[in-house]
Amino acid sequence: MFVDQSRALLATAQKELSAARIRELHEKAEARMRGLLLRGQREGAFRADLPVSWLLTTTHVVLNGAAEEVRTGRIDPDDAPWFIDAILLPAFAPTATTQGDG
């Protein structure tokens, strides 16, 4: 499962790499995701009423939360993707915009 693998990968990286190198690698992944979100907002695939920085933060918090829930045994690793989707899909879904006073 992706969340569990990511958690294990980070734990291994923390043993082998400096904090600066881990940050550098994380920044590269974040830059790719930032580009994806910006393009998705321009194309109407993602909500544009929230800043990309907030969508990135939300993703980071949800993924880390899921990893922690799996680690502690509060959720089954096979269920984590469902929980992640249940939060992130509606958080990213474009919203209808209203024009004028109504």
Task: Tell me the per-residue pLDDT of 71-85, one tens digit each, with 9 for 90 and over.
Answer: 899 999 999 999 999
Q: What is the pTM of this model?
A: 0.72
pLDDT confidence band for 98 (50 / 70 / 90): very low
Instruction: Indicate the angle between helix axes 52-71 and 80-92, nearest 10 degrees.
Output: 170
- Which of the residue ranges 6-15, 42-51, 74-83 would you say has the lowest mean pLDDT? 6-15
- The CA radius of gyration of the chain, in Å to the nearest whole number, is 16
Asked whether the predicted pLDDT for residue 86 surpasses 80, the reply is: yes
Nearest CA-CA partner of 55 in 81, 86, 87: 87
Calculate the average pLDDT of the chain. Answer: 82
**Backbone torsions φ then ψ of 4, nearest 5 degrees:** -65, -40
